[in-house]
Structure formats: structure tokens, C-alpha cells
Amino acid sequence: MKIALIAHDRMKDEIVRFVTAYQPVFEKHDLYATGTTGRRIMEATGLKVTRCQSGPLGGDQQIGAMIADNDMDVVIFFRDPLTPQPHEPDINALIRLCDVYKIPLATNMATAELIIHALERDELKWREFVRGHRDERE
């Protein structure tokens, strides 16, 4: 599975701790992340992470393009709901794309943990079927 990892500045420590705690699960998957988040995860865990641009510099849009191309299976996005983000339209577009393409999306640790446990139990296999049968929209 392809998993995108994104975190706002005040949530980066939390996502690093989360990935570290579930490293045995994450190491079985292809990881993608926005700039600094990806670097911090790689430094803390040694996991291979394909890094996109920083979120405000287009990283959210790069991951959104992968979703639109049916080339992303899960998004874990630790958002900071209390701090205004200058690239809020990009964030909203990414969340919308997850809804449009039925991509499991966690925006906090509680939901991310549910998705990780589903991955451990092999309960997201339907994504492989969906990825192989792209729904063409007009």
C-alpha cells in the first residue's frame, strides 16, 4: 500500500512518535510525505520515505495529484486545528480528493491508529482492486 504522511508544524513530533511506534507496520508499505515531515520520519526511524515538496510549497497538491491518479491508498494527515494555515485551500482540496476517490484519511492520532490496525489485519485489500479498476469520471 502507498501511504502519505503529512503533519502541520505543531504536529510533526506527534507524527514522528506515531510512525516510530508503528514502524513494523509502516516498513511493509511505500511511504510518501511532505518535505520536513518526511525528513523527520526518516531521521527518527531509518524508513525509506519518498519526499514531496513542503505543504505550503505544493506538497499537498503533489499528494493530491497521486490521489487523483488513483496512486495513493491511505493518507495520514496530522492537522493542527487551532492554527490558521496559509495554504488552507490546498488542505481542503486534499481532503476533498480523499472523499472523491474513497481514500482512507486520518486527521488525528485516534483515527490513524484505527487505519494502522486495519492495515495490520489486511483489511484494506479492497484498495488493490480499486487501484486496478480506475473509475473514469467525465
The model's pLDDT over 53-72, given as tens digits with 9 standing for 90+, comes to 988 888 999 999 999 999 99
Q: What is the pLDDT of residue 104?
A: 96
Confidence label for 137 from pLDDT (cuts 50, 70 and 90): very low
63 found inside a domain: yes
135 found inside a domain: no
Q: What is the pLDDT of residue 25?
A: 97
| Residue among 60, 90, 122, 135 flagged as catalytic | 60
CA distance 44 to 83: 25
- CATH (domain of 20): 3.40.50.1380
137 found inside a domain: no
12 found inside a domain: yes
The predicted-structure confidence for 109-121, as pLDDT tens digits, reads as follows 999 999 999 999 9
Q: Give the global pTM.
A: 0.91
Confidence label for 134 from pLDDT (cuts 50, 70 and 90): low
User: Structurally, how many domains does the chain consist of?
Assistant: 1
Query: What residue ranges in the chain does DSSP mark as E strands?
Result: 2-7, 30-33, 49-51, 74-78, 105-106
131 found inside a domain: no
120 found inside a domain: yes
Q: What's the grid cell of residue 79?
A: 492537522
Q: Which range of residues forms the domain containing residue 109? A: 2-124
Q: What is the pLDDT of residue 133?
A: 58
60 is catalytic: yes
Q: What is the pLDDT of residue 132?
A: 66
